[in-house]
Amino acid sequence: MIRLFPKIRTKIKRVHKRLGPIFPILVTALVTALLTWGIGRLFDLFHLAPSIAINGIFSGKTLWVIDRPEVTFIAAFIFGALLGTWYFAYRPNRETVREYWEQIPTWGQATTLGLGGAILVVLCLLAARHYWPISDLTVLAAFLVSWPLATGSVILANRRIDDCPRSTSIKIGYMHARGLESRTMAIVVGALFAVASGFVTWALSTRFTESDSALPAVTVAVLLWMLVTVFVYNRYDAQTNEQSGLSITSVNRPDTRTAWELTIRNESNETIDLSLAKIRDTKFDLYQFGVDTDLGPGALCTFNAPEEFQLEPNDDSWELPLGYTLKQGSETPVILTRTGEIYALQRDKFDGTDIDSILSEGTDEDVTGTGQPTSSGGQSPGTNPSTQD
């Protein structure tokens, strides 16, 4: 018996070394599950937990039944894992986690939050089945619909403008999301269309052919998802071509402030509406432009670049599998109008000293200003990370 304890400690150390950071999380989850199961057994509380019957979605046959004690153990284990993740992983590294989260592209954040929202909807429906009759088909439909809806809602929330009516804010958010997140928005629209078409196909097939097979519905849904996504993306791409009607004419840094003062000119022959527009810098961060005016041909307007605003060309990118890359920067800032036009701020018509030499004066880092920016339109631009597909 005495020799047994050193062997156990040795094995625990080996397991701890292999599992690394997740070992405390797993221990917390296991201890929580065992304690909850023991309390339920001791005080006969298992009747409070539901039993779960997993049925075939289309056949209706019971495939697996999870009894109340097992449901209690699994639920307690998941809760303990979440608690351990918060205490051992997130709490001591919260700043690092937040910085990493802010570096994730907007489409990645929206997809993750959308999936989490869909899972939460499914869990709520599964819990509600203990009190109300909810079919498996309803749960599946809720998951397939809630994911694209939640993903699209997160993207629109990041693109909308607060200082205007809600309907106008949502419309402008959609225009900007259509241009900046064209691929993600196309996938969301395609997914909603595919889910609706798949369930219609299943309903028609069960009514007229008396077949309960899911193959036709799944086939139609997958094919339509691909076709509609490609069609919508091509349509978005045709509607959001980058234009070159605006150019940077001067960049100054007043002695009394550390923010950069930029002047832009309308080089086109048409008036450009800059009301409720946004501006994206070269590291793909999005700000409220703050200049509410119609800029006529040859006219100038001046605004103060915020502290985090970057003007220097940025060639950052994410390395993807199979040799693909995802751009995380651009050559010039761009302005997005309320109607969805994208104007790249040209640098080749800059008057006076070369812009790169001006941006390098007074700072060793990427071009930034300091202090809270106040644009000539009187609005304070708030940061809103954005990533182009």
pLDDT at res. 369: 32
pLDDT at res. 384: 40
Please enumerate in sequence order all residues whose Cβ is within 8 A of that of 221, keeping only pairs 6 or more positions apart, or say none: 194, 195, 197, 198, 201
pLDDT at res. 372: 32
| Structural domains of the chain in order of their starting residue, each with its CATH number | 21-96 (no CATH), 246-347 (2.60.40)
pLDDT at res. 380: 36
> 272-281, pLDDT tens digit by residue?
988 888 888 8
pLDDT at res. 379: 34
> 288-311, pLDDT tens digit by residue?
887 778 889 989 988 887 777 888
Q: Which residues of the chain, if any, have pLDDT below 70?
A: 1-5, 15-16, 19, 55-61, 210-213, 253-258, 318, 320-326, 348-389
Neighbours of 75 (CB within 10 A): 16
Residue with tokens 């509406």: 273
d(CA 369, CA 273): 26
Residue with tokens 């959001």: 240
Task: State what percent of residues in the chain have pLDDT above 70.
Answer: 80
pLDDT at res. 348: 62
Say if residues 178 and 155 touch (Cβ distance below 8 Å): no
pLDDT at res. 2: 56
